[in-house]
Amino acid sequence: MNSITSIAQYCVTAGAAVACAAVFAMRPPHQTEMPNLSNAELKVAYLDCARISAASLLEPDLVTICSTVASALLHREFGGNPDLQQQWWRKAQHDASSIQTASALKNLDALLAR
């Protein structure tokens, strides 16, 4: 397991994905773009990752996907500013209706299968 994966796993399982997003700002651009997803889809995927990680320990592949989603969203939507991303995340959590973890996984799988 490389250091990025270890950090990603800590960030997601510790519920600190937003706070750790700055770590992923150092990743090469080709690993953060996710061009097949719009910013709106990245936001949905990010919230799904947060819900899933709050309910259970993530598998390593999902940790990688979720950290890549977080990084892509950080750069594309928030200009690399983790404070702005955290503000959005807190508001989105407050505004979001309750969703089951299974639904979140299904949504994330559907988005990433595109």
Concatenated DSSP letters for 27-90?
S-GGGT--TTS-HHHHHHHHHHHHHHHHHSPPPHHHHHHHHHHHHHHHHHHHTT-HHHHHHHHH
Number of structural domains in the chain: 1
Domain limits for position 37 = 3-112
Average pLDDT for 95-110: 64
Examine the pLDDT at 90 and tell me if it is beyond 60: yes
d(CA 55, CA 67): 17
What tokens were used for 103? 């639904």
Neighbours of 52 (CB within 10 A): 21
Is the pTM higher than 0.85? The answer reads no
Examine the pLDDT at 10 and tell me if it is beyond 60: no
Average pLDDT for 53-66: 88
pLDDT value at residue 30: 44
HSE on the CB side for 66, CA within 13 Å? 32
d(CA 42, CA 72): 8
Query: Per mean pLDDT, which range of 16-20, 31-35, 53-57, 70-74 is the poorest?
Result: 16-20
Q: Label residue 86 exposed, middle or buried (CB < 10 Å: 0-12, 13-18, 19+).
A: middle
